[in-house]
Structure 1
Amino acid sequence: MAGGRPALRWVGQVVAWSLILGVVAAVTVAVLVPRVAGGTPYSVLTGSMRPDYPPGTLVVVRPVAPEDVRSGDVITYQRESGSSTVVTHRVVTVSTSLTGEVTFTTQGDANDAVDPDPVRAVQVRGRLWYAVPHVGRVNQLLTGRQRRTTVYLAAGGLLGYAAYMFTGALRGRRLRGEPA
């Protein structure tokens, strides 16, 4: 059964590295890319945007000028100006009043009717840049401080594991008499 050990070790390493790459990818799309590119991540909480953006989807939006918003765009907006509660829905109509104020009529993809109140430009937090299924669930579980701590712990754990693997490889080479 000696031949089975190297294969088992290889499978263990493949699983470990797959997990590491998955965590790095999730952290990159959920935290790093939005922060560097000026985006803001939000979690979809309801089914109003099914099937494309079911609950648990992480949506990342970037600021957009009101005149650049078009019918068909998905935007995230505050329910009320100054409120922390946001909604992500699709723009179905763009209107301009006689005074020049731009407003948007929105609707959830899964909803039968348009949203009752028009969205003013000042309420818009951004237009959808990209979305990642299921990553929003993790975002929902953690507060800002917990998310930051989790990222630091994951990064430290990954670096520690990489150092462990590197020193193990060097030790193995030395035992076999190979140059490091």
Structure 2
Amino acid sequence: MTTEVRPRRRSRRARQTREVWRAIATGLSAGFLGLIVLLAAIVIVIPKVAGATPMTVLTSSMEPTLPPGTLIVSKPVAPSKIHVGDVMTYQIKSGEPAVISHRVIEVRSRSDGTFTFITKGDNNDAADPEVVQQQVRGVLWYSVPLLGYVNSALTGEQRIIVVPIVAGLLFCYALYMVITGIIAAVRKRRAATPR
């Protein structure tokens, strides 16, 4: 009898160990999937729905608040809604695509009803040249440290290819986890039923 009991205990222990590892793997997989979905929402979905633009901080001019590699999302606002202290994104030269994001240190109202702004990087000694309202692209809505590196690595064309591939792989992996869970449950039920 002792020789029969020990193998059963070992097989039960081995089964329990496998179940624990499977539960850990499932939990980690679900957490990873949740993280990917959250990042996709932060970088792609939320800005697109809100009409905002995700950008990456490339220089140290806004340190320590916005160090290089930070993802910033700039949301369009009316020039009259921009206040001292806001981090404003604006075209370096009017009509050109290159932009910069610096803190507004002064707002000037002109007699014709338009506004101009004086900005300065938090880490810079001198203020920037005056910015006219036609250059303004928006103000900082939210930022996420280090996520800008991912944003910079994936250009528009790459995102169109990479996002569906990653989503497809995650879906396949989730399907695999569901199927293996069902198979394990069926095996466990069969093992528990007396013959």
| Structure 1 residue 157: Cα displacement | 1.4
Question: 2:144 aligned with 1:126, yes or no?
Answer: no
User: Which has the larger displacement, 162-171 or 130-139?
Assistant: 162-171
Residue 162 of structure 1 deviates from its aligned partner by: 1.5
**Gap regions ≥5 residues in structure 2:** 1-12, 191-195
TM-score by length of 2: 0.84
**Superposed counterparts of 1:1-180, under 5 Å:** 2=14, 3-115=16-128, 117-177=129-189
State the alpha-carbon separation in 1 of the partners of residues 160 and 47 from structure 2: 14
Task: Report which stretch shifted further, 152-161 or 42-51.
Answer: 152-161
- The amino acid of 2:53's aligned partner reads T
Give the Å deviation of 1:113. 1.4
1:16: how far off? 2.3
CA positional deviation for 1:21? 1.7
Which is richer in helix? 2
- 1:118-154: CA deviations, max 9, x gaps? 1111111111110011110011112101022221112
**Offset at 1:6?**
3.0
CA contact (8 A) 1:139 1:147 kept: no
Q: Partners in 2 of 1:51 and 1:66 — Cα distance?
A: 26
**Amino acid of the structure 1 residue aligned with 2:135:** Q
3-state DSSP of counterpart to 1:130: strand
Structure 2 CA distance for aligned equivalents of residues 50 and 136 of structure 1: 15
Instruction: Give the Cα separation in 2 of the matches to 1:126 and 1:174.
Output: 56
- Cα displacement string for residues 84-134 of structure 1 (whole angstroms, at most 9, x for unaligned residues): 11101110000123443311000011111111x111111111111100111
* Unpaired runs of at least 5, structure 1: none
* Alignment partners' CA distance in 2, 1:9 and 1:171: 12
Shift of residue 156, structure 1, vs aligned partner? 1.0
Size of the aligned set, in residue pairs, is 177
What is the DSSP-based 3-state SS (H/G/I as helix, E as strand, rest coil) of the residue aligned with 1:177? helix
Structure 1: distance between partners of 2:115 and 2:127: 17
Root mean square deviation of aligned Cα: 1.7
Percent of pairs with identical residues: 42
Quick one: distance in 2 between partners of 1:94 and 1:41?
Answer: 25
Q: Equivalents in 2 of 1:32, 1:122: separation in Å?
A: 27
2:26/2:177 contact within 8 Å kept = no
